[in-house]
Structure 1
């Protein structure tokens, strides 16, 4: 199953004004909101995971860096892209954000067109990753089915070869050369005296 449209964005900000402005700007997506880092993590672990997280850095309790670090250290949530929304766009904060796993930064106050472009870019990339994962799982299932069939055919092939007890009884000397290419040999069996 492919990533559904519209994709879901989790907005994490302790300012309701920012949440409303972001929802309005990103109305083509399904936007949900959390007003704290703890609330965001609870939501992510109990509801359907979002396709993207817009995350404020400066929040009471758990800041955005801690939230992002927690998400990236969990195999279940590590692939969700995080865009930091912050008024702190100095190099030290940018580096710290990227080190904890941010995909991008948007400076506050944000430009709506820039916001839409960055969000669309991250969602497009996430959708590609999700769809590639689905394709790989499908290929693995097909490979497993083919391999299982080959092992079953190998058992049938072994069963068609004469047993050693029979060959000892009917032939004084004999040998069997059975060398499959991978799992199966050709179906040609040749006997001679």
Structure 2
């Protein structure tokens, strides 16, 4: 059995010393400060997408922006992620998932006290008016049609994550 390391004390010490050293610098650019803050306090985005190419593309795009991504191909993989009790800040989800579709999954998530407040963005090739209406019904913050514009995706994510909780 592998020993689980308790690192919260070490993390606190590293963060404190990093902040102290940054404050001692004569000039720290806002970009340097934001980059360091993102690295020390990463925001976790849960991506639920059954297409592996799309899933890995989203991971690459989001991690290039400094986010940490958690990936699930379907509801079965999602349960493993949620079981680990990871901190999630935003959910990107496809609608056309196997076994339980995105709308059904969103309804279940919105009934959970810890997940209902999370911003949810649907990414889907489905783009009928009833799809947009259904997304609003289940509490989606946004709906991006595939194929999506990468810059728009990054802007939507940044905007949702910058909103006060």
- Give how far 1:46 is off: 3.2
Moved over 3 A (4+): none
Q: Deviations over 1:136-179 (max 9, x none)?
A: xxxxxxxxxxxxxxxxxxxxxxxxxxxxxxxxxxxxxxxxxxxx
Give the length in aligned residue pairs: 125
- The equivalent of 1:34 in structure 2 is 72
Q: Secondary structure at the match of 2:58?
A: helix
Q: Greater Rg, structure 1 or structure 2?
A: 1
- The equivalent of 1:110 in structure 2 is 148
- The equivalent of 1:121 in structure 2 is 159
- Give how far 1:39 is off: 2.2
Partners of 2:70 and 2:81 within 8 A in 1: no
- Give how far 1:44 is off: 2.2
Partners of 1:11 and 1:54 within 8 A in 2: yes
Counterpart CA distance in 2 for 1:38 and 1:65 is 16
The normalised TM-score by structure 2 is 0.71
Does residue 63 of structure 1 match 2:93?
no
Does residue 83 of structure 1 match 2:104?
no
The normalised TM-score by structure 1 is 0.61
- The equivalent of 2:111 in structure 1 is 73
Unpaired segments ≥5 residues, structure 1: 130-193
Partners of 2:47 and 2:55 within 8 A in 1: yes
Counterpart CA distance in 1 for 2:114 and 2:79 is 12
Counterpart CA distance in 2 for 1:100 and 1:6 is 27
Partners of 2:55 and 2:71 within 8 A in 1: yes
Q: Deviations over 1:27-76 (max 9, x none)?
A: 12001100002322442243213100100000110110111101101112
- The equivalent of 1:178 in structure 2 is none
Of stretches 114-123 and 39-48 in structure 1, the one that deviates more from structure 2 is: 39-48
